Structure 1
């Protein structure tokens, strides 16, 4: 079950064309700006055709029309030399070996179309073979020419905000207390191991968002709603402090497996909670030291001056108070106004450089499983 609602956040442009799965009300989608497709202008230069001999029947069907793609311009920008082509194919070979792909034979074609065709071919095969593959770059520095491959987990421009008030209500519901203990172990894993920020910690982004809202209410002229707003804020602080004490306790990790083994599902909700708990425990066992921010990088080219204009992952991943009420709606609006000032965002990204050095075996399997877990957990918590 998905209890998602979406809130447009700012004017952030995500250049990828994606279909994110929005999570429950506070796990909101950051609005994707209109991705204006960059059309390829007609070139005045004629394209070389390589075909079979004229005396072969149906020769047209055997023609190979080399690609008019951005790769062609990229390759043409490289300085022509035997070393350039040699480096190119050596790097291509290492890339293909790493991803276990059979590249198309293109050496027989003239420069630069041989390299452009090779790039076009390998890109199509990477799209089909590698789950999180984003793009490849051809780099030429003063020493050599080589490929850089980018793998990226698309977070779907979504706010991954986990409501602890739901878990608080579950703990105080006699019929669902066993469920709450299961999910308490899940949240302890997310807090201590996965490194999800908590909104009552002063170093967290959402701590200062809540503080700002509190200041606004206290400083504004008193109205009939003022007391209600202040009560919601105080309740968010109380529940947040109370639940952090429960989540912080590492005993929840010690008894995690025991809670799973002793839990007997009696209905669909029990089954959902048990499934989430098993996946979280499996992540804990498989990746005992991995943090959600381990591969955080800007999802675009960024200079040092641009770093302050990037949405950090800590801004859209966090525990927070509640998914309903005035406080939630105001928070989402406030985050929206804040994030619209940014030009790009951080996402889990791995860059692999095929220049003769050892290639990292790192991948984004952890991120794929973790973000799926966050989606599932949020669906559950948005029923309370």
Structure 2
């Protein structure tokens, strides 16, 4: 699978403008006698004053915080020392830090925040999982080629059923659907190829053929994927399939993983727990967010004569953005929450499935 690092543009804070004060005319330097050392006794100074938080507000903050902390402990099933007796605000800060340590989980990123909603202090946990910043692009041309070889038809049916599950059930976008990000990129790529001048004629014909093949294969596989009977026959096809080659053995493992997800998470969608978008345009009206459906998608091919150009277009676009949407879970402990369940497990396993599928499709059967 073609991968690219998600190079993010880091926005730095605004620096203070250097200012020039005074006119161009230079004034003569004026000297004064130095004041006597005891001169400060003739002046009065106002003490530095920082308003203290009202005592009533402080009590409400502590009360709400530890009430929320109790809900967090029950949700994750953890135990913490009682920090109520410590001075404010150290009791709150220390309790939050210890809670963050207690809920750590391997391969997950969890952050604990103190938030205020409706004038009430609560704890909130943001959870994500660690992933390498890759393009999860599933090529369908290799599957189409399997359909053109009679000896590989059983494998083609298995892998098409897997793709159908990812498309119809998991919700992964398809490059032949007009309202998708990859459809737009293929459209731009086609227009660019048509307007290209000075290119070697043979090379240009090859690229145009690759784009045509992507359209033909895409429409053919999409029609197969939309066949609900094919998707639902996956268990029967797995039982009837006898793998003979390493490629076929891997295809069976990929299909079994897809079937397991379908059965374990009925009705689940990959984008159900995507991170919220707080701001989506910069000062120039351009998108600042890389959406999940933009870096997780079906494509034509990842090895043909136009794939490098396609990936370069996508990478250049993504490099202009500052934030990547990811699977994320946010829980606010303002009220009682049910016991913790791993709601990100499905998204994590789907991305693993896509990785295995793309690795298989990169090989020759």
- Superposition deviation, residue 282 in structure 1: 1.5
Q: Which residue of 1 aligns with 2:353?
A: 373
- Aligned residue among 59, 64, 71 for 1:82: 59
**Deviations 1:285-341 (CA, angstroms, capped at 9, x unpaired):** 22222221111224xx72465693211111101110011122100000000111112
Distance in 2 (alpha carbons) for counterparts of 1:164 and 1:247: 11
Residues of 1 paired with 2:208 and 2:351: CA distance? Answer: 33
Residue 254 of structure 1, aligned match among 232, 241, 245: 232
- 1:315 maps to what in 2? 294
What secondary structure is seen at the aligned counterpart in 1 of 2:332? Answer: strand
Cα shift readout 1:201-252 (whole Å, capped 9, x = no counterpart): 1111111101111111111215322222212111111111122112221121
CA contact (8 A) 2:4 2:315 kept: no
**How far has the Cα of 1:79 moved from its partner?**
9.1
Could you tell me how far 1:170 is from its partner in structure 2?
2.2
Q: Which residue, 228, 248, 252 being the options, matches 2:206?
A: 228
Measured in 1, the distance between the counterparts of 2:299 and 2:247 equals 23
> For the Cα contact (< 8 Å) 2:71–2:337, is it kept in 1?
no
CA distance in 2, matches of 1:207, 1:155: 26
Partner residue in 2 for 1:293: 271
Aligned-pair Cα RMSD in Å: 2.6
Of the three residues 118, 122, 128, the one matched with 1:152 is 128
Match of 1:331 among 302, 306, 310: 310
Question: Is 1:276 aligned to residue 254 of structure 2?
Answer: yes
- Distance in 2 (alpha carbons) for counterparts of 1:375 and 1:223: 35
Secondary structure in 2 matching 1:127? coil
TM-score of the two chains, using structure 2 as the length reference: 0.80
Q: In structure 1, how many angstroms separate the alpha carbons of the residues matched to 2:8 and 2:243?
A: 39
Shift of 1:348: 1.2
Aligned length: 317
Change in 2 beyond 3 A, CA 1:170/1:79? farther
Unaligned runs of 5+ in 1: 1-23, 37-75
Q: Pick which of 151-160 and 95-104 moved more.
A: 151-160
- Match runs of 1:36-47 below 5 Å: none
**Could you tell me whether the CA contact under 8 Å between 2:107 and 2:130 is conserved in 1?**
no
How far off is 1:33 after superposition? Answer: 6.4
When structure 1 is superposed on structure 2, of 360-369 and 259-268 the one drifting more is 360-369
Unaligned runs of 5+ in 2: 13-52
Note if contact 1:132-1:151 (Cα within 8 Å) is conserved in structure 2.
yes
Please name the residue that 1:110 is paired with. Answer: 87
Note the C-alpha offset of 1:86. Answer: 1.3
Offset from partner CA, 1:138-170 (integer Å, 9 cap, x none): 013453111011112344321110000111122
Residue 353 of structure 1 is aligned with which of 318, 327, 332?
A: 332
| Aligned CA distance change for structure 1 residues 141 and 79 (closer, same or farther; 3 Å) | farther
Question: Secondary structure at the residue paired with 1:182?
Answer: helix
**Secondary structure at 1:197's aligned position in 2?**
coil
CA offsets per residue over residues 54-80 of structure 1, 9 Å max, x none?
A: xxxxxxxxxxxxxxxxxxxxxx9x996
- Displacement of 1:116: 1.5
CA offsets per residue over residues 241-274 of structure 1, 9 Å max, x none?
1221122211212211101111223343222211
User: Structure 2 vs 1, CA of residues 358 and 97 (structure 1 numbering), >3 Å: closer, same or farther?
Assistant: closer
Q: Deviations over 1:118-147 (max 9, x none)?
A: 11111111114x753421110134531110
2:328 match: secondary structure: strand
Change (3 A) 1:229 1:270: closer
Query: How many angstroms does 1:368 deviate by?
Result: 1.5
Please name the residue that 1:13 is paired with. none
Superposed counterparts of 1:43-82, under 5 Å: 81-82=58-59
Partner secondary structure for residue 115 of structure 1? helix
Counterpart pick for 1:215 among 178, 191, 207: 191
Structure 2 distance, partners of 1:304, 1:178, is 45
Higher-Rg structure is 2
Rate the CA distance shift 1:297–1:176 in 2: closer, same or farther, 3 A.
same
